[in-house]
Structure formats: structure tokens, C-alpha cells
Amino acid sequence: MAITSEHMTGRQRLLATAAAQPTDMTPVWFMRQAGRCLPEYRALREKHPFLEVARTPELAVEATMMPIDRFGVDGAVLFADIMLPLDGMGVDFEIRPGVGPVIDDPIRTTEDIERIRVVDPEEGTPYVLNAISLLRRTLGDRAATLGFAGAPFTLACYLVDGRPTKEYPKTKALMYGRPELWDALMTKLAEITARYLEGQVRNGADVVQLFDSWLGLVDPATYRERVAPYTAAIFERLRPLVPTIHFSTGTVQLLTEIAATRPSMVSVDWRLPLDAAWDIIGPGLGIQGNLDPTMLMAPWETVEIAARDVLNRAGGRPGHIFNLGHGLLPETDPDQLSRLVELVHSYRDE
Ligand code: CP3
């Protein structure tokens, strides 16, 4: 790897990589690093319910900073949730422990879609914007601020089915069977999401990631017609502002189509080796990934081999952010993550 500077900050390192420029080390952060596995997070959660932490900027920033202080990662993903924009839409939801997001009054009819409000995040979710700007000031240059949102398809899964399922049957039935209704819903969600991310950028997000967590349920032809146009519209709005990352999992069948929505980088899971996935995405886009989060349950020696394999496959090419292929598991030993950051930061091409 070209050593261009011995003294890049985490923020510079991540932003240079997102711009496909060389860096001193490979930048690294972990999806879901801010909640889940840290004892200091559990202590915070004993005092405050999840949504109270997410809706209170000081508490959200406190949770966001925990993995920065402990692991020295290069990206600080805001402690928030993909469901928060529903506050602005006027759709009630709760996060039920052991279940996940639940909507008692799901969105299924023309009238339901019409009642979804399209508002600017200053009105709908001001606490998210305030949290981002407080985070930006707290972090300085230690790490890049990563804003995020759920992608329209994944938001639709929760809005239409109303709760987590394996197949999101009601959502897919609407997508296949009621194309006009689907278009009305997805158009609204794309507009809301674009405004929400633009607002995060105005308040200090350096990079934004779009989480399309349930996209693995979709075939390429349906993706092209019923999902990609809305995703592409969001990236088009953000392109002049900041680098963008598309996240999904279980989408080997879609990588070419995902790349065609033109994010700056594509986050890939572990189902393909990193170099094979990068070949499909193409050299024009960066890549994020792709250690299996379950790998972190193995002894360190095994984790080390797997992590080095990811780095070797990136081969020192600019444009690789080291990450997991999906969010880390609550039972992850934080010490494994500390060692992993050290390994990624000390890695040189082999
Ligand atoms: O690093 C972080 O954790 C940052 C904040 C963050 C949360 N959710 C906090 C959270 C992020 C980036 C998310 C994204 C998110 N939320 C996604 C996309 C990422 C993915 O994993 O695919 C999705 C699908 C959701 C929806 C959601 N929210 C689910 C399925 C759940 C329940 C299960 C769980 O633990 O993830 C939530 C609740 C939630 N969001 C929690 C946290 C820390 C757990 C609530 C608690 O602490 O009690």
C-alpha cells in the first residue's frame, strides 16, 4: 500500500478511502458498533429506554462515542435507528424487546399511504439533526461521522408487514400485485429519506449509509423495476454532497444492479470473497466489508486468518473500508474487536 502520510486522522483516512484515494492504513468501523456488545452501553440502557437514548442528542452522542473511545475505529455511526423517520411521517411504532420494530397500524391501502406525511427532518426528527451536529463537534477529526437511513424497500417491509418476519409476504404482495400503490409508497419514502439524509449532511454527517437490510428477498428483474429507481434517486440527491454507501446482505444476485444505482461504495456480506464481489461491482466503486460477524465468536487465531484474507483480497487497492458483512452480534467479546482494529491498522500488503 502506498504510504502517503504517516499522520492521517481517522476522519481523513475514511474520507480519502471513500474518495478512492490512497491512505496510510485501511480504515475500519463496525456496523452496529454503538449498541449491542458493550457493557458501558448496557449500563446506559439500564437507566434509559432505547428510544429515549435515540431521541436525546446528549445520550445518543454518549452511546455513539463508546466504540470510538474503546476501539479507535475510523467511523462514528450515529446512535439512531432506521425507524426514527416514522416520527416525521406520523406513523406510530415501538421497538419491542426481543422482537424489533412493531407498527400496530400498518400501511396497506391508498388512504394509509396518503396519510404518510412528507416533512423536512428539521420538523420531523430535529433530535437526529441535533445529535449529528453535537457528534461532529465532540469528535473533531478523530473519526468520520456516519449518518444513515433505512432504504425505501426495507422501510416498506416494516411499514407494510408491521413487524419483523422472514419473508415480508404482505410487502412483496403489494410490490408484485399493486404496482401503482407500491410506486406511491416508494416515491414518498424516497423523498422522505433523501430529505432526512440531506438534513444529516447539513448538520455534519461526512458520509451517509443507506441500509437495505432485507433486499436479499428480491430477484434482479424485480429489483430493477420496483426498487432500484427509488434507491438511485436518493444517491443522485446525495452525490453532490457527500460519499454514499449502499448496504445490503444476501444480495449476491443483485450486485451488478446495486452498483448501477451509483452509490460511492457498496457494502458486501461474506457470501462472496471480497475480490470476487469487487470484480462484479467494478473498479469505479469502493467496497466495504466483509468479515462474517459470527466469525468473531471463533478463537482470535481463526479471526486473524479470516481478517487477513479480507485484507489480502483488497490487495491494498484504495477504496476499501474494512467492516463486517452485517451488524455485530450482541454476544461479541469487545476484546476481539479491539484486536481486530489493531490488526487492520497495522496490516501491510502480503
Ligand atoms: O451501531 C449501532 O448500533 C448504531 C445504531 C443503529 C441501531 N439500529 C440501534 C438499535 C443502527 C445503525 C441501526 C440500524 C437498523 N435498525 C437496521 C439496519 C442494520 C441491520 O442490522 O440490518 C435495522 C434493520 C433496524 C431495525 C431494528 N431496530 C431492529 C431489527 C431492532 C431490534 C433488534 C436489534 O437489536 O437490532 C432495532 C432496535 C435497535 N436499534 C437496538 C439498537 C441498539 C436494540 C434496542 C435496545 O437496545 O434495546
Residue 5 has pLDDT above 90, yes or no: no
* Among protein residues, the one whose CA lies closest to atom 45 of ligand 1: 50
Q: How confident is the model at residue 36 (pLDDT cuts 50, 70, 90)?
A: confident
Q: Is 239 a catalytic residue?
A: no
In this structure, are residues 20 and 318 in contact, taking their beta carbons and an 8 Å threshold? yes
d(CA 146, CA 157): 24
Q: Quickly state the pLDDT bin for 7 (edges 50, 70, 90).
A: confident
Mean local confidence (pLDDT), 67-91:
98
Q: Does 153 score more than 70 pLDDT?
A: yes
Closest C-alpha to 46, from 63, 58, 68: 63
Task: Please tell me which residue in 11, 13, 41, 81 is annotated as part of the active site.
Answer: 81
For the Cβ of 82 lying below 6 angstroms from any atom of ligand 1, the answer is: yes
Choose the catalytic residue: 36, 202, 308, 317: 36
**Predicted pLDDT at 6:** 66
Amino acid occupying residue 314:
A
pLDDT at 350: 58
> Quick check: 2 pLDDT over 60?
no
Sign (positive/negative) of CA torsion 281, 71, 154, 147? Answer: negative
Distance in angstroms (rounded) separating the CA atoms of residues 205 and 195: 13
pLDDT band at 216 (very low <50, low <70, confident <90, very high): very high
Q: What is the pLDDT of residue 35?
A: 84
Active site residue 45: yes
Distance from Cα 31 to the centre of ligand 1, integer Å: 10
Active-site residue identified among 41, 158, 223, 230: 158
Nearest-angstrom CA–CA distance, 37 and 31: 12
Residue 234 scores a pLDDT above 60: yes
Q: Is 275 a catalytic residue?
A: no
Name the residue with the closest Cα to ligand 1, atom 17.
82
Task: Using the predicted structure, report yes or no on whether residue 348 has a pLDDT greater than 90.
Answer: no
pTM (two decimals): 0.96
Dig out the grid coordinates for 266 from the structure. 457498496
Report the percentage of the chain scoring pLDDT > 70. 98
| Antiparallel, parallel or unpaired: β 265-267 and 244-247 | parallel
Distances (CA, A) of 225 to 110, 228, 250, 322: 21, 7, 19, 31
pLDDT at 283 over 70: yes
Interhelix angle 228-238/179-202, rounded to 10 degrees, is 20
Does residue 285 register a pLDDT over 60? yes
Rounded Cα gap, residues 90 and 93, in angstroms:
10
Question: Residue of the nearest CA to atom 5 in ligand 1?
Answer: 79
- Average pLDDT for residues 12-26, to the nearest whole number? 97
Calculate the average pLDDT of the chain. Answer: 96
Check pLDDT > 80 for residue 80: yes
Mean pLDDT of 272-281: 98
pLDDT score, position 318: 97
Q: Could you read off the pLDDT of 316-338 as tens digits, one per residue?
A: 999 999 999 999 999 999 999 99
Residue 203 pLDDT exceeds 80: yes
In a 3-state reduction of DSSP, which class is residue 290? strand
